[in-house]
A and B are shown apart, each in its own frame.
Chain A
Amino acid sequence: MYRYDEFDARFVAERVAQFRYQVERRLSGELTEDKFKPLRLLNGLYLQLHAYMLRVAVPYGTLASRQLRKLAHIARKYDKGFGHFTTRTNIQYNWIKLVDVPDILAELAEVEMHCIQTSGNCIRNVTADQFAGATPDEIEDPRPLAEIIRQWSSLHPEFVFLARKFKIAVGATPEDRAALQYHDMAVEIVRDGEGRVGYKVTAGGGMGRTPYLAQVMSDFVAREDILAYLEAVLRVYNQDSRRDNIHKQRIKILVNAIGVEEMRARVAREFEEIKRMGTLQLPAQELDRIAAYFAPPAFEALPDAMPTGDLDFENWKRTNVHPHRAPGYAIATISLKAIGQVPGDASAGQMEALADLMDEYAIPEIRVSHEQNLVLPHVRQKDLPAIFARLQDLDLATPNSGLITDIIACPGLDYCDLANARSIPVAQAIAKRFAGLERQHDIGELKIKISGCINACGHHHAGHIGILGVDKKGVEYYQLLLGGSGAEDAAIGQIMGPGFGEHEIADAVERVVNFYLKERSPGERFLDTYRRIGMEPFKNIAYQEQMNAAYNG
């Protein structure tokens, strides 16, 4: 994985000192909260309902064991002993004191980590496929480019005060595990007709109040031109985006207001000029130099021999173990969705034990997925039973990856200042409702995603079943959305109708799922059935109880 050199180390250390000075000025009263706010946000520090929340960047979701240990240490020393992995593959701490933040940053810098641009109106932490470098179906590892983008975007002087936040993802496989089409900008590594590797760039995707799928800006950007192209898109966005209405300031609004053709033309003009100047050209040596950091570990020559075990192990293998590019190896998903747990939470003890396990089994890195799980990317197949047993002891062996209880949920009203409704208890209630594993397997792939407000941190638009918490006169209600997807078949979920009460929502989801089981054709996922028969029949079923109640007076 990437290692800081003297320049990266100095940059991060100076950024820590810079933020320390900003905190000093805030604590002395020199800076008002209004002026401090954008500065702290640029460093991932939010003021939430109960305390400050600090979001630590995990670039493209990759962590070494010593970094995971440091995250555990921070959870223990400065927080309440746990951290929350987010849909942008970061980790956030919910109970942080402002005075501690500079020290936390200094501790993070010791293990080459930081909080730079994890919030605020700037280019955010770059994400990538959690199976990068391990999955058999990728053109090349997307992380070297993600790292190059991370460096280019770090304190980019032109783009630190954008109209709104700007999220970039990089993918390299036909199967999209990084929700590319929901990003402000995404780069997909592709081959052209002659087999050359280059980049397809899309822009204008996003969730929130006005969801859009991204549109293609360019089908093929040459490797050496990619930073010039990304800078061109950002410059057009910075110059031309609205600034008069916070709800209309994401790039998706600009692209759809001026139209994709006009957007492409404006980008092309900037692109040609940046290319002519030549300073952003990416020499092949630079790409190779960065790529060398991400060279796969030296895989042992092993036969493909997947171990078998008891029913628990087999169930786990079925959903949480995935094919690897090297014979004798596997990818393992560690579910952070134990039934009844807060999705994405991990305790300091769990993180430390995982770090030990990585070292013991020579697994050089661990990944965070946008679905709020962890992934061991390079596991010897023969080690799987022992690793599974260890995960069981840690309550990290829930065999539900991709199943209905593998729910994405934002922190919601339990923590978040913006939320209208709680997300976590709804996720917990639904997970409990469908806890039976046989039933989960029968239902198959079904992605439930829950947001506590319109900002959509829980990706509700992209859920096969999405749930959006709303506030109606001080009471929490939950709207159902059906048919969304964040994968390669991306779609925006449709709202079913009026919301359900807190105690009705799990019932409504269950009625919808049972109806799918009754109506599905052989081999159909929930999403396929929905796409075939549409909203109406699901709607009739979901509101059955309300209608019965009305009928019976």
Chain B
Amino acid sequence: MPLITVDGLKPDPFVTLADDAALPEESGAIVSLARFRKDREALLSRNAPIGVRLKAEESPEQLGEDVHRLSVVALEFPKFRDGRAFSWARQLRTRLGFAGEVRAVGDFLYDQIAHQRRVGFDAWEITEGFSETQFRRALGEITNVYQPSADGRKTIRDLRVSSPT
């Protein structure tokens, strides 16, 4: 599945593994929380980056301190109406201080990308044909924001204070 980040379209350096699939030799792998728990030692001692894919009902806090040894946390949108991952991403960034990639996977809409960016997502698994132009447009539809989030953007209140009027 194509991947887009704030830097643009790029090949996905990770493979997402089914729970019963064999680990690849070299490349990075993204596994479920269940598999991560089961094969934790082996996964962390490999000489390749590792990621975990969390279901909508799985809080990133369940990763404990291991979160900082991960390169990717993929948060799943089982259907676009299920907005729990917005809070999980925010939690990863602000409570847990996770500095790796937070990836949106599953069923999400063009119209959710800007919100996802704000709460801390920085990579998206997109459908074939989704263009970088669309991606840039989605991020740019609303210029200013009213509330602080994980993106550290200045809010409208900050801008008011610094604006000359």
**Chain B CB within 10 A, most for which of A5, A152, A157, A235:** A157
B23 at the interface (CB under 8 A from A): no
Contact among A5, A152, A162 with B83 in the assembled complex (CB-CB below 8 Å): A162
Q: Does B148 lie within 8 Å of A279, measured CB to CB?
A: yes
CB distance from B12 to the nearest CB of A (A): 25
Q: Does B149 lie within 8 Å of A158, measured CB to CB?
A: yes
Q: Does B141 lie within 8 Å of A14, measured CB to CB?
A: yes
Residues from chain A with Cβ under 8 Å of B145 in the complex: 155, 157
CB distance from A519 to the nearest CB of B (A): 50
B157 at the interface (CB under 8 A from A): yes
| Given known A-B contacts A10-B144, A151-B156, A157-B115, A239 and B81 have beta carbons under 8 A apart | no
Interface residues of A in 1-48 (CB under 8 A from B): 5-8, 10-11, 14-15, 17-18, 21-22, 35, 38-39
B103-122 CB contact bits vs A (8 Å, 1 = yes)? 00000010110111011000
B130 at the interface (CB under 8 A from A): no
Residues from chain B with Cβ under 8 Å of A151 in the complex: 146-147, 156
Measured between alpha carbons, how far is A15 from B6 in the docked complex, in Å? 22
B159 at the interface (CB under 8 A from A): yes
- Binding-face segment, B13-21, B30-38, B41-49, B86-94: B86-94
A121 at the interface (CB under 8 A from B): yes
A161 at the interface (CB under 8 A from B): yes
A280 at the interface (CB under 8 A from B): yes
Q: List B residues at the A interface (Cβ < 8 Å).
A: 56-57, 59, 80-84, 86-88, 90-91, 94-95, 109, 111-112, 114-116, 118-119, 141-149, 156-157, 159-160, 163, 165
Residues from chain A with Cβ under 8 Å of B157 in the complex: 286
Contact among B91, B94, B142, B160 with A15 in the assembled complex (CB-CB below 8 Å): B142
Give me 10 other A-B pairs in contact (C-beta within 8 A), A11-B142, A152-B146, A243-B84 excluded: A5-B165, A7-B159, A10-B144, A18-B141, A38-B81, A39-B111, A151-B147, A158-B149, A235-B87, A239-B84
Residues from chain A with Cβ under 8 Å of B57 in the complex: 243
| Given known A-B contacts A17-B141, A38-B80, A277-B94, A158 and B109 have beta carbons under 8 A apart | no
Residue ID in chain B nearest A150 by CB atoms: B146
CB distance from A410 to the nearest CB of B (A): 24
Residues from chain B with Cβ under 8 Å of A153 in the complex: 147
Q: Does B141 lie within 8 Å of A160, measured CB to CB?
A: no
Q: Does A159 lie within 8 Å of B144, measured CB to CB?
A: no
Residue ID in chain B nearest A238 by CB atoms: B87
| Given known A-B contacts A5-B160, A239-B59, A286-B157, A161 and B143 have beta carbons under 8 A apart | no
- Complex A-B: 12 CB contacts under 8 Å: A10-B144, A18-B111, A151-B146, A151-B147, A152-B146, A155-B115, A159-B86, A161-B80, A161-B82, A235-B87, A243-B57, A280-B148
Contact among A7, A154, A155 with B160 in the assembled complex (CB-CB below 8 Å): A7
Contact among A5, A22, A243, A286 with B111 in the assembled complex (CB-CB below 8 Å): A22
Measured between alpha carbons, how far is A15 from B95 in the docked complex, in Å? 30
Measured between alpha carbons, how far is A10 from B52 in the docked complex, in Å? 39
Residues from chain B with Cβ under 8 Å of A239 in the complex: 59, 84, 87-88, 91
CB distance from B113 to the nearest CB of A (A): 11
Residues from chain B with Cβ under 8 Å of A5 in the complex: 160, 165
A156 at the interface (CB under 8 A from B): yes
* Interface size range of chain A in the complex: 35 or more
A273 at the interface (CB under 8 A from B): yes
Measured between alpha carbons, how far is A235 from B51 in the docked complex, in Å? 25
| Given known A-B contacts A121-B81, A235-B87, A238-B87, A158 and B111 have beta carbons under 8 A apart | no
Residues from chain B with Cβ under 8 Å of A152 in the complex: 146-147
Measured between alpha carbons, how far is A35 from B81 in the docked complex, in Å? 9
Residue ID in chain B nearest A243 by CB atoms: B82
Residues from chain A with Cβ under 8 Å of B83 in the complex: 121, 158-163, 238
Q: Does B147 lie within 8 Å of A156, measured CB to CB?
A: yes
Q: Does A161 lie within 8 Å of B86, measured CB to CB?
A: yes
Residues from chain A with Cβ under 8 Å of B141 in the complex: 14, 17-18, 21
Measured between alpha carbons, how far is A154 from B155 in the docked complex, in Å? 12
Measured between alpha carbons, how far is A403 from B94 in the docked complex, in Å? 53
Contact among B84, B111, B118, B144 with A11 in the assembled complex (CB-CB below 8 Å): B144
Contact among B90, B112, B146 with A161 in the assembled complex (CB-CB below 8 Å): B112
**Chain B CB within 10 A, most for which of A151, A152, A161, A243:** A161
Residue ID in chain A nearest B140 by CB atoms: A14
Q: Does B149 lie within 8 Å of A157, measured CB to CB?
A: yes
5 cross-chain pairs, A with B, having the tightest CB-CB distances, nearest first = A161-B83, A157-B118, A157-B115, A279-B148, A7-B156
Measured between alpha carbons, how far is A7 from B145 in the docked complex, in Å? 9
Residues from chain A with Cβ under 8 Å of B112 in the complex: 160-161
Residue ID in chain B nearest A22 by CB atoms: B111
| Given known A-B contacts A5-B165, A38-B80, A157-B114, A11 and B86 have beta carbons under 8 A apart | no
Residue ID in chain B nearest A122 by CB atoms: B83
Measured between alpha carbons, how far is A56 from B56 in the docked complex, in Å? 33
**Chain B CB within 10 A, most for which of A18, A158, A286:** A158
Interface residues of A in 451-469 (CB under 8 A from B): none
Residues from chain B with Cβ under 8 Å of A8 in the complex: 156
Contact among B109, B118, B142 with A35 in the assembled complex (CB-CB below 8 Å): B109
Measured between alpha carbons, how far is A344 from B159 in the docked complex, in Å? 40
Measured between alpha carbons, how far is A161 from B116 in the docked complex, in Å? 11
Residues from chain B with Cβ under 8 Å of A235 in the complex: 87, 90
Interface residues of A in 195-238 (CB under 8 A from B): 235, 238
Contact among A155, A162, A286 with B146 in the assembled complex (CB-CB below 8 Å): A155
CB distance from B11 to the nearest CB of A (A): 27
Residues from chain A with Cβ under 8 Å of B144 in the complex: 7, 10-11
CB distance from A406 to the nearest CB of B (A): 37
Q: Does B87 lie within 8 Å of A14, measured CB to CB?
A: no
Interface residues of A in 349-387 (CB under 8 A from B): none
Residues from chain A with Cβ under 8 Å of B81 in the complex: 38, 121, 161
Q: Does A160 lie within 8 Å of B115, measured CB to CB?
A: yes
Measured between alpha carbons, how far is A158 from B117 in the docked complex, in Å? 10
Residues from chain A with Cβ under 8 Å of B111 in the complex: 18, 22, 39
| Given known A-B contacts A22-B111, A280-B148, A286-B157, A157 and B142 have beta carbons under 8 A apart | no
Measured between alpha carbons, how far is A152 from B145 in the docked complex, in Å? 9
Measured between alpha carbons, how far is A153 from B102 in the docked complex, in Å? 24
Q: Does B82 lie within 8 Å of A154, measured CB to CB?
A: no
Measured between alpha carbons, how far is A159 from B83 in the docked complex, in Å? 8
| Given known A-B contacts A7-B160, A14-B143, A157-B149, A35 and B80 have beta carbons under 8 A apart | yes
Q: Does B87 lie within 8 Å of A11, measured CB to CB?
A: no
